[in-house]
Amino acid sequence: MTLNIILLGPPGAGKGTQAVRLEDEHGMVQLSTGDMLRAAVKAGTPIGVQAKAVMDAGELVSDEIVSGLIGERLDQLGSDVSVIFDGYPRTAAQAQALDGILSARGRKLDHVIELQVEEDALVDRITGRFSCAKCGAGYHDRYKLPKVEDTCDVCGSHEFKRRPDDNEETVRTRMAEYRAKTAPILPIYEARGIVTHVDGMAPIDEVNDAIETILATAGQSVHPAPVIEAPRGTG
């Protein structure tokens, strides 16, 4: 059963953190346009060169570029791979593009999970965010420190990095962009009855539990599972 899920929420809501958990636990694949764009910046591709200043300012990269990246990445995946869209779509035009991108590949959007967070917490979340320079594992100065000081839990590296756009001023712009351009796409999905809201202020494990419950239900309602259970009431 293939699932196509959007994790929606403002910068710092926990989308990346939860997407990686779903990758680890279910073999789903995280499609993060932010990660794709940062890779393009690092590689110095034409898209990266164009995107860098926009990202540093906390503004949105063009719909054509990010939708193009998503389509390319989906084409590299098998049609039986379940995906989590993280940080995409971010505008009504991207939401519309995604419908076409999915249907052209025999896929369909199963569920949108909105991580609801208090805006005051976001600056704190984002200015405390850092990651492993070698494997990219995500951490936080207060909420998710490595288990052994200065040592990545995943790969053992001692080198960490912070994003240039994770400063208070840029975060304010990113939050304003979210309010103005991304939040308005929620009603589109609500009208289709595929949105579930999750309390993103809860601890990371609890948010993960809530998402797991939604996925179990989404999977069943969309693609009924074959009945393989033994009859009940025999114990």
Binding site for Zn ion (CB under 5 A): 132, 134-135, 137, 152, 154-155, 157
Work out how close the CB of 129 gets to Zn ion at its nearest, in angstroms, rounded to a whole number: 15
- Does 146 sit near ligand ADP (CB under 6 A)? no
CA dist., res. 128 & res. 12, Å (int): 10
- Does 33 sit near ligand ADP (CB under 6 A)? yes
Catalytic annotation, residues: 15, 90, 129, 163, 174
Pick one of ligand ADP, Zn ion, none as the site partner of residue 152 (Cβ within 5 to 8 A by kind): Zn ion
CA dist., res. 178 & res. 193, Å (int): 22
* Contact residue for ligand ADP among 28, 41, 112, 207 (CB under 6 A): 207
Pick one of Zn ion, ligand ADP, none as the site partner of residue 160 (Cβ within 5 to 8 A by kind): none
Contact 207, 199 (CB under 8 A): yes
Contact 133, 28 (CB under 8 A): no
> Based on CB atoms, which residue is closest to ligand ADP, 96 or 222?
96
Count of positions on this chain that bind ligand ADP (CB under 6 A): 35
Work out how close the CB of 133 gets to ligand ADP at its nearest, in angstroms, rounded to a whole number: 15
> Based on CB atoms, which residue is closest to ligand ADP, 34 or 219?
34
Pick one of Zn ion, ligand ADP, none as the site partner of residue 74 (Cβ within 5 to 8 A by kind): none
3-state SS, the chain, equals CCCEEEEECCCCCCHHHHHHHHHHHHCCEEEEHHHHHHHHHHHCCHHHHHHHHHHHHCCCCCHHHHHHHHHHHHHHCCCCCCEEEECCCCCHHHHHHHHHHHHHCCCCCCEEEEEECCHHHHHHHHHCEEEECCCCCEEECCCECCCECCECCCCCCCCEECCCCCCHHHHHHHHHHHHHHHHHHHHHHHHCCCEEEEECCCCHHHHHHHHHHHHHHHHHHHCCCCCCCCCCCCC
> Pattern 95-124, binding to ligand ADP, x per CB under 6 A?
------------------------------
> Pattern 37-76, binding to ligand ADP, x per CB under 6 A?
x----------------xx--xxxx----x----------
* Contact residue for ligand ADP among 90, 102, 112, 218 (CB under 6 A): 90
Work out how close the CB of 149 gets to Zn ion at its nearest, in angstroms, rounded to a whole number: 14
Give the rounded distance of the alpha carbon of 42 from its chain centre.
Answer: 20
Residues that bind ligand ADP (CB under 6 A): 9, 11-17, 33-34, 37, 54-55, 58-61, 66, 87-88, 90, 94, 125, 128-129, 138-140, 143-144, 165, 174, 203-204, 207
